[in-house]
Every structure is written in C-alpha cells, then in structure tokens.
Structure 1
Amino acid sequence: MNYDEPVFLISVVSKQLNIHPQTLRQYEREGLIEPNRTGGKVRMYSQKDIDRIKMILRFTRDLGVNLAGVSIILELKGQIAKYEEQLNKGKKNALIKQVSKFDVAIYDKAKR
C-alpha cells in the first residue's frame, strides 16, 4: 500500500482512532486535513492523512492546543519542510559553513 493512497473510509478511520466521524468533518472544515473524495463525494483517507490526524489529536488531547493553534503549528511545520527542501537543493550548488551551533551561512560557489 502506498503511503499517500486514499483507501480508508471515514468510519474506518474514526473507529481506528476512537473519534467521532463528526470530529473528522470538523478537522476538514477547519482546513486541518483534506481527504480525497470519490466521484460520489465519499471521503477517503490515506495513511498519511491518518498520521496527520494522530498528530492533531496529540496536540489537542495531550498538549491542550486548540484548533487555531494546531492550524498555526501545522502551517509552520509545512514551511520548515519547504525550507529544508530548498536548503537541501542548495547544498548541491553552495558551500555551507556553520558559524555557530545555531547559524548556518550559505555561500554561493558561483559568486566566489
């Protein structure tokens, strides 16, 4: 099974995670998850979606974060992933030097 392949119905996901299907619908309305839809508009979830829902549940249940806070956290995680990807692409064309244990300076080889 592919990690991104939507194969789980809402009833299966809600039973697996011990949450009400309405909670999943609320997460979708809030923009926290975006399950795929069949031609008949049936929600289908992938393993990636389920892992994201588990993360949301951890933030809300275990850490007491409200849904607005979860939305911000997930947005920031997405931005960090994007920046890491850009940094990894940039490593091929740049010399990277760590200035301190917190800072990274990127020197473009072409400008040296």
Structure 2
Amino acid sequence: MTQQMDRHTPIFAIAAAAELAEMHPQTLRQYDRIGLVSPQRTSGNTRRYSLHDVERLREVARLSAEGLSLEGIRRVLQLEDRVAELQDRVRELERALSNEVLSRPERRVFAAGTAGEVISMRRGARVRRSAEVVVWRPGTDQR
C-alpha cells in the first residue's frame, strides 16, 4: 500500500528536525515535554517530526526571539490552532451553503426571522415585519 505524504507526514528524526529548525536536539526534547511541539513516535518510541512540526519549531523560535515566554508561546500556538479549526469550519459551512443553494435554486437561505433565526423562504417572498412600536426614553429603565 502506498502512503500519501503531506506536510503532516512524520519523516524527520530528531537530529534532522533540529538542523532544519536551527535548534539543538535537546531543545526539541524540552518542547516535546512541555507540549509546544508533539512529534509522532515510531514503534521503537523515537520521535519523528513532520514539515508541519519543523514550521512550528521555527514559529516557537520566532516568538521566543520576540520576548514571549514559553507559556505565552504555548497560548499563542493554541489560539492559532483554534483559528485554523474555525477557518476550516467556515469553509465547510460555505460548501454546505453552496450545495444547498445549487440543489434548491427555488429557495433562498438567508432570511432572518424576528428572533434572529435563519428562515428558508421561496424566492421573492418577504419576512413578515412586526408592527410593534417601541418608545425609548433616555435615562429611564423600561423593563
């Protein structure tokens, strides 16, 4: 079976990864212990780094050079990972929306109800508006 390689494929031993990241191998071991970079392990329990891991090591070095503590770096990396997850989710939702629009051309997806909910409507239809009047007086609590 042929395995596809990508930037997450663990191919570098610790010495090669350290050289690519321009760090000492002991630094990579420390970063692994504290969870900044978590390489995969072989069946013999040796570390194997991917291109993604090497990029992350370089990012750690850059943030460290800017004066961030290791804990600060860990938090920045967590937030960057979360942003990437959310970007993936947005792309997933955009694909689902596109598929919905293509599969149901007679429907419109982006109508908002009075409570902010999304309402699927026929093309050309309008959301019924409320005729309520709200009076606002500055400086008074109207609850």
What are the equivalent positions in structure 2 for 1:31-46 lying under 5 Å apart?
Answer: 31-46=35-50
Is 1:69 matched with 2:72?
A: yes
Match of 1:108 in 2: 118
Superposed CA deviations along residues 54-75 of structure 1, whole A, max 9, x for unmatched, are 11111002x1111100011011
Cα deviation, residue 35, structure 1: 0.5
Change (3 A) 1:57 1:107: farther
Aligned partner of 2:58 in structure 1 is 54
SS of residue matched to 1:41: coil
Choose the corresponding residue for 1:87, options 71, 86, 90.
90
Larger Rg: 1 or 2?
A: 2
Instruction: Give the gaps of 5 or more residues in structure 1.
Output: 96-105
- Distance in 2 (alpha carbons) for counterparts of 1:77 and 1:21: 25
Q: 1:26 aligns with which of 27, 30, 34?
A: 30
Query: Identity of counterpart residues, as a percentage?
Result: 31
> Using the alignment, how far apart are the partners of 1:17 and 1:69 within structure 2?
20
Could you give the per-residue CA deviations for residues 30-80 of structure 1, whole angstroms, max 9, x where no partner exists?
A: 11111011111111111111011111111002x111110001101111111
Aligned pairs, number: 101
Superposed CA RMSD:
2.2
- TM-score for the superposition, normalised by structure 2: 0.62
- Unpaired segments of 5 or more residues in structure 2? 98-108, 111-115, 122-126, 128-143
Please state which structure has a larger fraction of its residues in helix: 1
> 1:51-110: per-residue Cα shift (whole Å, max 9, x none)?
11111111002x111110001101111111222222222334364xxxxxxxxxx97353
